Amino acid sequence: MEIETVMVKDLRDKTGAGVLDCKKALMASEGNMDKAIAYLREKGLAAAAKKATRTTSQGVIASYVHPGSHLVVMVEVNCETDFVARLEEFQALAHDLAMQVAASKPEWVSSEDVPVEVQERERDIYRKQAESEGKPPRAIENIIEGRLKKYLAEFCLLEQPFIKNPDLSVKDLVIAAIARTGENIKVSRFVRWELGG
């Protein structure tokens, strides 16, 4: 099957993957866009998993100041080398993450950062809600876990839908950057200041 340039461009826009990777994914999936996206995600996850233990001692602190200067965000994004930290793509990723924090107001970087007591408090709330809604006892645990997952997706930066492309999570965006740069990338922390907040 011949892969058209417009298909490669469309896949690249949706995933942020490199041109050659997009072409390979489309060839492997016989032009099926959904399968190509899944292929790239699996490849990115595998690449990210291999690099996850590498030390990330370089990086940048990116900032975003909302027009009117009523909102400021700073985010620390780390990588392995100062070479990658200086890449325009890495700098753009860090800036996009700062904009994400400004727009979506996460409380934590990842679900691993959410304190156990917060998770237990939310589980207790969801249990009471499910019971008051008359849900069957055997379904309540699944309901609790589903609602907790939705809560984490709202308040954990890496789980949120990316503001520039809601088909991708922020984690997918970082994984794609890991695959393209060949280095481990980690979002370490962020601070969000809002006037009067």
Fold held by 115-154: GTP Cyclohydrolase I; Chain A, domain 1 (1.10.286)
* pLDDT score for 86: 94
* pLDDT score for 1: 65
| CA atoms of 155 and 6, how far apart (whole Å) | 36
Same topology, domains 5-51 and 58-109+156-194? Answer is: no
| CA atoms of 19 and 51, how far apart (whole Å) | 22
The pLDDT of residue 195 is above 60: yes
Q: What is the mean pLDDT of residues 152-181?
A: 91
Tokens representing 26 are 């489309």
| Residue predicted with more confidence, 28 or 87 | 87
Give residue 4's pLDDT band: very low, low, confident or very high (50, 70, 90): confident
In percent, the amount of the chain with pLDDT more than 90 equals 53
| Residue predicted with more confidence, 18 or 173 | 173
Fold held by 58-109+156-194: Tetrahydropterin Synthase; Chain A (3.30.479)
Per DSSP, what are the bridge partners of residue 78?
Answer: 59, 186
Q: What is the mean pLDDT of residues 115-128?
A: 93
Q: What is the mean pLDDT of residues 121-141?
A: 90
Domain limits, the chain: 5-51, 58-109+156-194, 115-154
Nearest CA to 114 out of 152, 85, 140 is that of 152
Mean pLDDT of the chain: 87
* pLDDT tens profile 47-80: 555 666 667 789 999 999 999 889 999 999 999 9
Give residue 22's pLDDT band: very low, low, confident or very high (50, 70, 90): confident
* pLDDT score for 118: 94
| CA atoms of 60 and 105, how far apart (whole Å) | 21
Most confident of 6-20, 69-83, 125-139: 69-83
C-alpha to C-alpha distances, 150 to 11, 51, 154, nearest whole angstrom: 27, 28, 6
The pLDDT of residue 153 is above 80: yes
| CA atoms of 58 and 111, how far apart (whole Å) | 24
C-alpha to C-alpha distances, 107 to 61, 102, 118, 150, 185, nearest whole angstrom: 18, 11, 12, 14, 20
The pLDDT of residue 33 is above 90: no
The CATH class of 5-51 is mainly alpha
Q: What is the mean pLDDT of residues 18-38?
A: 81
Say if residues 121 and 128 touch (Cβ distance below 8 Å).
Answer: no
